Amino acid sequence: MSHLKYHNLIAGQWLPAASGKTSLNVNPADHADIVGEFPSSGAEDVNRAVEAAKAAFRIWRLVPAPKRAEILLRTGILLQERKEEFARQMTREMGKVLAETRGDVQEAIDEAFYVAGEGRRLFGVTTPSELQNKFAMSVRMPVGVVGLITPWNFPMAIPSWKLFPALVAGNTCVIKPATDTPLSTYNLVQTLADAGIPEGVINIVSGGGSDAGQALVEHPDVRAISFTGSSAVGSHVGQRAAATFKQVSLEMGGKNAMIVMQDTNLDLALDGALWGAFGTTGQRCTATSRILLQRGIAGAFTERFVARAKRLKIGNGLDESVEVGPQVNASQIETSRKYVEIAKNEGAELLCGGHTLTDGACANGTFFEPTVFAGVKPAMRIAREEVFGPVVALLEFDAFEQAVEIANSIDYGLSTSIYTKNVNRAFAAMRDLEAGITYINAPTIGAEVHLPFGGVKQTGNGHREGLGAIDFFTTWKAVYVDYSDKLQRAQIDNAE
């Protein structure tokens, strides 16, 4: 079957990698389906892209922010028109079901409209001066050329969380998409270009993390790196970026706990648990990967949860009746398989799943069964380490305080949730769960773009996307205007 060949966008031109090398983007639900061929870029391509972004920054930083925002508004409208086409392409390249890829594109649309409004805000601060006839203010300045590195699980939404705030604030961008999902990021960049983004303001360089990604992190003219991915790679990126004193935002993994109190509506908790654990085939940084059950409902919940997990329809996400798509690639399958072995050896009880699927609708892809472990203890690796697949651990507890302690006992701190009808417990959970996000009576997934997104501990290094993104992509400048017509020395002339 013939397939399309895609290029990098550098200085407004679509170009192959300098080396001429390419890699194939394969549909994880059907390996015979080649989604496209993409450049395998390296340092030379990154250098050109950064050069283009540097040149464009001289012009883009002077474009009034409300004008920059209008391009984002047009991008959002174009994405609405292209939503169905882009969602179908995303399901083919990444595997998640159509309802979810439509949601991924929708998130980019929401982000476009949200950030477009920022063009008329980007508020600074005025404050009195300690001296007479002197005016003081703080204004937001763009950072310069920013490098964006993104994962494959939200291949349009996550790039939009980074690109749109960076652009509205006056930065110019070089983005390196995940090797598994360059097409969705390419579609986003193409749409920005169609909406009128000037040449060089946004550049996309497809290629491997240790080639193009590393070159971007190490480039001396890149002033900030915004990275989303695993904690292992994030730690490496942070350390390399420190060598050239870059600002770095790291959004990384999770091992997200849902607490189910016995006073809750069990049907509601079951719906949430199923969606949180197996939506996106468990490949979300916020996936519900630990379910903490209060002793009184543990038996009933477990039985019904496993029965429903077994009934989930698995297959190609383009089939609208399918509920769970493939994992993105063979190495993710290998990780799921490995953790099934680890959990069994630790003494956890496998209640369902645990195998790759190779028959029928799953014959030509990388599929793994929805998998549930019970009898999991907080110290086990299956309770502490991110699997990033359809594998969920059930733990039991007696009292609320114990559940909070178990939930907090890990190295990650992204998302948490509690199902309860007790308002006192709900408020205690909001305060005590160590995480960037807490849901009450909803699973650990479902973030909206205009709230802060990110986590604590090994999930992040203190920055936030969404509400916090403008803070990351701007730098404060203090401005003093002395209109006294004489030298006024702060801390000296006005001292008693």
25 binds, among Mg ion, ligand NAP, none (CB under 5 to 8 A by kind): Mg ion
Binding range to Mg ion, per CB under 5 A, among 88-96, 117-125, 241-249, 421-429: 88-96
- Residue 388 interacting with ligand NAP (CB under 6 A): yes
Percentage helix, strand, coil, to 5, in the chain? 40, 25, 35
210 binds, among ligand NAP, Mg ion, none (CB under 5 to 8 A by kind): ligand NAP
Query: In 95-156, where does DSSP find H-type helix?
Result: 98-118
Residue 2, both tokens? 């013939």
Q: 150 near 490, Cβ under 8 Å?
A: no
- Residue 237 interacting with ligand NAP (CB under 6 A): yes
436 binds, among ligand NAP, Mg ion, none (CB under 5 to 8 A by kind): none
Instruction: Kindly state the number of chain residues that form the binding site for Mg ion, as judged by CB under 5 A.
Output: 3
- Residue 230 interacting with ligand NAP (CB under 6 A): yes
Determine the Cα–Cα distance for residues 40 and 58; give it in Å rounded to an integer: 29
Determine the Cα–Cα distance for residues 327 and 261; give it in Å rounded to an integer: 31
Q: 131 near 494, Cβ under 8 Å?
A: yes
Binding range to ligand NAP, per CB under 6 A, among 93-101, 124-132, 205-213, 482-490: 205-213
Backbone angle region of 275, left / alpha / beta, with phi > 0 → left and psi within -120 to 50 → alpha? alpha
- Residue 217 interacting with ligand NAP (CB under 6 A): yes
Of 203, 148, 206, the closest CA to residue 182 belongs to: 206
- Among the listed residues 100, 111, 285, 465, the single catalytic one is 285
Binding range to Mg ion, per CB under 5 A, among 92-100, 244-252, 261-269, 458-466: 92-100
- Residue 19 interacting with ligand NAP (CB under 6 A): no
CA 80 to chain centre: 21
93 binds, among ligand NAP, Mg ion, none (CB under 5 to 8 A by kind): Mg ion
Determine the Cα–Cα distance for residues 248 and 226; give it in Å rounded to an integer: 6
- DSSP secondary structure code for residue 362 in this structure: G
DSSP 434-483: -SSEEEESS-S----TTS-B--EETTBSS--BGGGHHHHTEEEEEEEEE-
| Of residues 25 and 206, the one with the C-beta less far from Mg ion | 25
Q: Show contacts with Mg ion in window 10-39 (CB under 5 A).
A: 25
Q: Which residue in 238, 254, 276, 389 binds ligand NAP (CB under 6 A)? A: 254
- Residue 438 interacting with ligand NAP (CB under 6 A): no
Q: Show contacts with Mg ion in window 156-195 (CB under 5 A).
A: 180
Tell me how far, at minimum, the Cβ of 36 lies from Mg ion, in Å: 9
Instruction: Kindly state the number of chain residues that form the binding site for ligand NAP, as judged by CB under 6 A.
Output: 30
Q: Catalytic site residue 251?
A: yes
Q: 333 near 356, Cβ under 8 Å?
A: yes
| Of residues 65 and 115, the one with the C-beta less far from ligand NAP | 115
Query: In 157-221, where does DSSP find H-type helix?
Result: 157-168, 182-194, 214-218
- Residue 111 interacting with Mg ion (CB under 5 A): no
| Cβ burial, residue 47 (10 Å; 0-12/13-18/19+) | middle
230 binds, among ligand NAP, Mg ion, none (CB under 5 to 8 A by kind): ligand NAP
Tell me how far, at minimum, the Cβ of 415 lies from ligand NAP, in Å: 9
Q: 101 near 94, Cβ under 8 Å?
A: yes
Instruction: Output b/e per residue, 259-275; b: 16+ Cβ within 10 A.
Output: bbbeebeeeebbebbbb
Q: Catalytic site residue 352?
A: no
- Residue 21 interacting with ligand NAP (CB under 6 A): no
CA 394 to chain centre: 25
Q: Which residue in 33, 45, 93, 323 binds Mg ion (CB under 5 A)? A: 93
Q: Show contacts with ligand NAP in window 137-166 (CB under 6 A).
A: 149-154
| Of residues 178 and 261, the one with the C-beta less far from ligand NAP | 178
- Among the listed residues 51, 93, 111, 251, the single catalytic one is 251
Tell me how far, at minimum, the Cβ of 232 lies from ligand NAP, in Å: 7
- Residue 210 interacting with ligand NAP (CB under 6 A): yes
Determine the Cα–Cα distance for residues 39 and 206; give it in Å rounded to an integer: 6
Determine the Cα–Cα distance for residues 47 and 39; give it in Å rounded to an integer: 15
- Residue 386 interacting with Mg ion (CB under 5 A): no
Tell me which residues are annotated as active site.
251, 285
The residues binding ligand NAP (CB under 6 A) are 149-154, 176, 178-179, 208-210, 213-214, 217, 228-230, 233, 236-237, 251-254, 285, 386, 388, 414, 459
The residues binding Mg ion (CB under 5 A) are 25, 93, 180
